[in-house]
Amino acid sequence: MLDLRRLRLLHDLSRLGTIAAVAEAHTYTASAVSQQLSALEREAGVALLERTGRRVTLTAAGRLLVRHAETVLAAVERATAALATVRGGLSGPLRIGAFPTAVRALLSPALVALSGDHPRLELMVTEVDPVGVPERLQDRRLDVGLTQDYDVAPGIRDPAIESTPLVTETVFLAVPASSEIQTVDDTRDEPWIVASPGTLCHVVAQHVCRAGGFAPRVRHQADDFVTVLSLVGAGQGVSLVPQLAATTTPPGVRLLELPVRRRTRIAYRRGGGEHPAVAAFVAAMSASAADVMGNR
């Protein structure tokens, strides 16, 4: 009989790449993780890992077992959801990961509705860049999270994660109102305000400029769109701003609509969408998005 906890460790090793990373994710020691994986090999009766010095890679049998582990872990999520449905009434923690724009525009109204309908549900919000949501879901630090991709930068599907579409937004080029800029091509000699390296917004800004045949001249880095728009209004450069962040613009800012769209989805572990707390969150967020976008 294969131990579920050990299967999870093997699955996380395939995802994270090193025993040290798995140990950190589970707050174990690296030695404890190695011992558990060795025990899993004995249970399986076949080598699952190849060890070369300090490096560990999966064997063909290990990769095969990881694929089955994904199905098993999803089944456990569905079983947990079924039990929660039988118990009736929502209670306990629901750990939510969201990016700042969504927190202000979409999540806050949804939290009010959820708290009113399910007062025993303990809502716990963490500000997370969309890029980091899948890892936090798999590490069980989140139960639901908001992910993003753009039509110019499609996301990579993770087989361990499922999601529900939430909202699609227009992306604008924010420029100083006094400028004569009309297109992205007009900004090749302008200073740019971009998000921090490693974020999806940073990648998209680079992509949009490259499509125009140039690299952005980065002067400022800012992740909060309120800050970004303030800098644009102060004549400090140009930037990309999504629709949810462009509801109110400070003086001195002009918005130019681009043929670029940002898509936000509600993500959860595979099989977890049937959990009543997750389903209630999806319904509340969908209602909030419909209300907000319907008024834009």
**Domains along the chain with CATH numbers:** 4-84 (1.10.10.10), 89-160+264-294 (3.40.190.10), 169-261 (3.40.190.10)
At residue 139, the pLDDT reads: 87
- Say how far apart CA 92 and CA 90 lie, in whole Å: 7
pLDDT of residue 165: 96
∠158-124-89 over CA atoms, to 5°?
95
pLDDT at site 296:
58
Residue numbers of the chain with a pLDDT score lower than 70: 295-296
3-class SS of residue 146: strand
* HSE-CB of 79 using CA atoms within 13 angstroms: 6
Strand 217-221 to strand 191-194: parallel, antiparallel, or no bridges (unpaired)? Answer: parallel
pLDDT reported for residue 218? 96
